[in-house]
Amino acid sequence: MPAIARAMYERTCRTDFSAPGFCLLNAGSERGSRGLRRLMVDLRQELATLHEARTGQTLNFVSVVRVDQQATTRPHLDGGPEQSLLMLGYEPSAVRSELEISDYSRCAFDLGLTPKEFLGRHNPMFRSGSELLRAYTTRIPCFSPEDHQIAFVNNSSTPYSADGATWQGVLHTATVPAPDENQRRVINSTMLASVPLGTRESVSTAELDEFLKTTAVRRQGYDKPHLQDDA
C-alpha cells in the first residue's frame, strides 16, 4: 500500500509539469464494490501521511458520494477547493466509456495565463477552448469497464509557482457513447483537499462509514452536452 500510494502521489500531486497530473490504478475484477471503497479510504490515509511528510499539511475528505453517471461531459473541474485531488472509484459496468485528461494548467502556462484566467477566456464548453486543449489532451487507453479502477486526478486551479508551493491541475472528460437506463455505471466519487494539520474534516465519521457500507447510488443525467460555438 505505501508503494502504491507513493506512485499515485508522485504522478498526480505535481507542482510542475514533469508529471502527468493523473494516474489510473487497476484493482482487478474480483474486489467487489465495498472492497474498492475500503481500498480508496486506505489509500487516502497513505496519501495523507505522504503529504504531511512533504508539505506539513494533510489531505482531508471534502466529499464522498456514489453515483450512476452516464452523461458525456466536456473537460471540467469538479467544484471544490482550489488545491484539491479527485479519487474516483469506477466499478465494473456493461456501459462502455472513455476517460480523457486535458492539461489545462500547462496550456495556460504556455499562453502566459493562470489556470483560472484560461478557463475564463477559453471555456472548454466552447469550440475555441476545446481546440486549444486538443494538443494537451490524453485519452487513457487502459481504462477498462471490466475491472475495478481508481482514477486519481489533480483537480486544482492554483497558478504555477516556481517554489513548488502549488499543485498544477488538469481537466477530466468522460465520454459515454451509449447510455443504458437498464444498466449502471457506478463511480465512487471522493474529493480530497490539502489543508493545515488539525483541520476538521468536512466528511464526518458517520458519513464515511455510510459511504463504505451503503448500496445506495445517486442517478445522474443521461443527456450528452453539446460543444458550443463562440458567441
Residue at 155 is within a domain = yes
pLDDT at 1 over 90: no
Domain membership flag for residue 136: yes
Is 228 part of any domain?
no
139 in a structural domain: yes
* Residue 62 neighbours by CB under 8 Å, 6+ apart: 80, 81, 84, 191, 192, 193, 202, 203
Question: Into how many domains does the chain fold?
Answer: 1
Which range of residues forms the domain containing residue 94? 2-219
Q: Return the CATH number at 62.
A: 3.60.130
In this structure, are residues 56 and 64 in contact, taking their beta carbons and an 8 Å threshold?
A: no
pTM over the 0.75 mark: yes
Assigned domain for 225 exists: no
pLDDT tens profile 49-95? 999 999 999 999 999 999 999 999 999 999 999 999 999 999 999 99
The pLDDT of residue 126 is 83
pLDDT at 230 over 60: no
Given a cut of 90, whether residue 167 has pLDDT beyond it is: yes
- pLDDT(129) > 90: no
Mean pLDDT score of the chain: 93
Q: Is residue 176 part of a domain?
A: yes
CB atoms within 10 A of CB 74: 20
Is position 224 within any domain? no
Residue 226 has pLDDT above 80, yes or no: no
Measured CA distances, 64 to 11, 23, 60, 124, 226 (Å): 22, 19, 11, 26, 28
In a domain, 67, yes or no: yes
